[in-house]
Amino acid sequence: MRRWIWLGIVVMLVAAFAAACGGGGQQGGGQPSGTPEGSAVAVSEKEWTIQFASSTMKPGKVKLLIKNEGTIEHNFVIEGTSVDLEAIPPGSTKEVTVDLKPGTYNVLCTIAGHSEAGMKTTITVAQ
């Protein structure tokens, strides 16, 4: 007889525990999984190259993270766009967002002599 009472208590405890857990689980759900606006593309500048992590991009807003991995100042220009970054000190990173339309763009460092030495590249924007 006593055994049944204990069993009843255990069943009630388990039920209470399950209810508490169920409530907590519902609270955790419902996080929206939206896609972030644009995508970041890493760009490395140094003597004497400009390298994009990806030189082909989709049209639309693209965030560029330009890191000067060289030992002297460089700047960053994408011809035909508003992107015209002032000198980036060695070791630092600048961020710029550009709205790219389909096409091919020349990218260069406009400090005298740098693009001639190799600091230029092209990127292609296509669907």
Nearer to Cu ion, 76 or 105 (CB): 76
Q: How far is the CB of 78 from Cu ion (least distance, A)?
A: 14
Nearest to 66, CA basis, from 4, 125, 121, 10: 121
Q: How far is the CB of 104 from Cu ion (least distance, A)?
A: 21
Q: What's 91's DSSP letter?
A: T
Q: How far is the CB of 100 from Cu ion (least distance, A)?
A: 22
Nearest to 52, CA basis, from 113, 112, 124: 124
For tokens 């630092």, the residue is: 92
Binding site for Cu ion (CB under 5 A): 74, 109, 111, 114, 119
Nearer to Cu ion, 77 or 111 (CB): 111
> 68 - beta bridge partners?
45
Amino acid of residue 17: F
Nearer to Cu ion, 59 or 118 (CB): 118
Distance from C-alpha of 47 to C-alpha of 60, rounded to nearest angstrom: 30
Q: How far is the CB of 55 from Cu ion (least distance, A)?
A: 18
> First CA to last CA across the chain, in angstroms?
76
Nearer to Cu ion, 68 or 98 (CB): 68
